[in-house]
Structure 1
Amino acid sequence: MIEPEGTYLVWLDFRELGLHKKEREDLIVNQAGLWLDQASMLGPEGEGFKRINIACARKVLWQALKQLKNAIS
């Protein structure tokens, strides 16, 4: 995770998983059941990152992170 600088959008670093873009999408959408923003839409520096909106109820955020963790494990 990249620590935010005063925003509610947190960048998650998926590069160490060694997945291609379609594999990341499958992991996040089909396995974790989430929809995260492509950080690459902000430029080539965002390749391998996803953005998650943390401006939600803590319970919702914890559930999403749990789903992501389970999909990666």
Structure 2
Amino acid sequence: MKVLLKNRGQITMEFAILMAAVVAVAAILGFYYLKTVESSSTKAQNENIVSNTVKLNKVVDIVNKVKEAIING
């Protein structure tokens, strides 16, 4: 018991260093997580724009075909 009380300051310092390392690792992982989320969000947005453009082009094609069928009988 005396040994634990004698090294209490050292144990506290080691615990503080361990906690600082945990906080640093959590901050680094959080940064990379947010960076990945932002990248995937931008990619999804671009793919959505392309998809919507393709759909709109198909709709315009169909409308033009119907218009042509009505005009030409």
**TM-score class normalised by the smaller sequence:** under 0.3
Q: Which has the higher helix share?
A: 2
Taking structure 1 as the reference length, the TM-score comes to 0.23
TM-score, structure 2 as length reference: 0.23
| Greater relative CO, 1 or 2 (CA 8 Å, sep 6+) | 1
Which of structures 1 and 2 has the bigger CA Rg?
2
Please state which structure has a larger fraction of its residues in strand: 1
